[in-house]
Structure 1
Amino acid sequence: MDKPMNIFDIAGRAMSAQLVRLNATASNLANAGSVSGNENQAYRAIRPVFSTIVEKPGVATVKVDKVVTSDTPATRRHDPGHPLADANGDVWEAGVDSSAELVEMVESARMYQNNVQVIQTAKSLLLETIRLGK
């Protein structure tokens, strides 16, 4: 049987989940302006899907179940001079909303930082408790 989750396990798992979210956002932003010669090959944004892990009432954390591809369609743009243009002179731009990705990035970074603060506070409280016991 696994040992019960403690505050460090809970916050650590939450930080790992936010790191996956931040990596997905970085991938999306990196591909935001990319183009392709056809719609099927155009980059689509990716998103992690989280689920809750409940050990007992009041003790829960999060994990990444999977990473899914967005259904946001690629944008067709007429650019006959582009080397990837199809027979009609069109290229397909990645289905990524840069503004939404920036919001996602800020939110995941804040969530990560919140969990760092939880760990720092728990560590301080434990050290203070040990100091009081001496």
Structure 2
Amino acid sequence: MTDLSLPLAQQLSASGMQAQSQRLRHVSENIANVDTPGYHRKTIPFQPSEAGMVETGPVRLDRSPLLRIHDPGHPLADESGHYDGSNVDLVIEIADAREAQRSYEANLKLFDQARQMTRGLFDLLRR
């Protein structure tokens, strides 16, 4: 969703911040479910829109194999004492969270610089 009252540079950076925010939401959900049996890691792709903005695609489930955990006392354990854990790797999730945070901050700086440039232009035009 674009805000036509904002200059193009600010619209672009706002779309990037929104996309990274959604990415971080899914990373947080993955981390929260690292110990949930049968949980598949969620990913969200980015794609450009026709207007050049950043949009998120549909949420995808990571279909890599689930971790087999040996715990004969677990209620979900089969005859061999194993059950399916999640396929969430905390190292990957933390790296993704850090990357999303840095990308968000870069878009925020761009947004702020565009705002300052617009303000400076308006100040020049008022003289």
Whether TM exceeds 0.5 here: the answer is yes
Q: Distance in 1 between matches of 2:57 and 2:73?
A: 42
CA deviation string 1:33-89 (max 9, x = no partner):
222xxxxxx00101001211243xxxx221012110001211111111123322322
Amino acid paired to 1:72: S
Q: Distance in 2 between matches of 1:67 and 1:34?
A: 19
Give the deviation of 1:115 after TM superposition.
0.7
Q: Is residue 46 from structure 1 mapped to residue 48 from structure 2 by the alignment? A: no
* TM-score after normalising by structure 1: 0.83
Count of residue pairs the alignment pairs up? 123
Q: More strand by proportion, 1 or 2? A: 1
* 8 Å contact kept, 1:49–1:67: yes
Alignment of 1:1-134 (within 5 A): 6-35=8-37, 42-55=38-51, 60-133=52-125, 134=127
CA deviation string 1:92-131 (max 9, x = no partner):
1101111011100000111111111111101111111112
Percent of residue pairs identical: 27
Q: Which 5+ residue runs of structure 1 have no aligned equivalent?
A: 36-41
Q: CA RMSD in A?
A: 1.9
Q: Distance in 2 between matches of 1:108 and 1:102?
A: 10
SS, match of residue 88 in structure 1: coil
